[in-house]
Amino acid sequence: MATDSRPYDAKFWEEARIRSLEPGGFGKDRVEIWMKLLNVEASSDEEIPDMLPEHADERQIRLDTDRSFVLYPDGDVQGHQEELNAAARVNFPQTPILVLLSRLP
């Protein structure tokens, strides 16, 4: 899912480099800047977990994240558990960047 092939100018990259060295780095703009660095478009987070290999500790990660909601206040506990499990799956795969990059055209 490559974006347009227009390169960003040297000023953009110099500002990004300087900002990356500051405390907090890119901050809230991290996703946008990394997408530019990788030249990719945003995709649905729901697509990613199915593309990733199962982590050796995935079962334990799910147990830990599910247990973290035992004392969670009433509300959409199941929805929050699913979001946390999906985030953990994305953040703990065996080779996340290689898997994601292999899916690019």
Residue range(s) defining the domain that contains residue 28: 1-42
Whether residues 32 and 11 fall in one domain? yes
With beta carbons less than 8 A apart as the criterion, state whether 85 and 52 touch: no
Whether residues 37 and 73 fall in one domain? no
Tally the domains of the chain. Answer: 2
Whether residues 59 and 21 fall in one domain? no
pLDDT tens, 36-80? Answer: 877 777 665 555 556 666 667 778 877 887 887 777 776 777 888
Where would I find the beta strands (DSSP E) of the chain? Answer: none
Q: Report long-range pairs for 34-39 (Cβ below 8 Å, ≥24 apart).
A: 35/3, 36/3, 36/8, 36/12, 39/2, 39/3, 39/5
pTM: 0.35
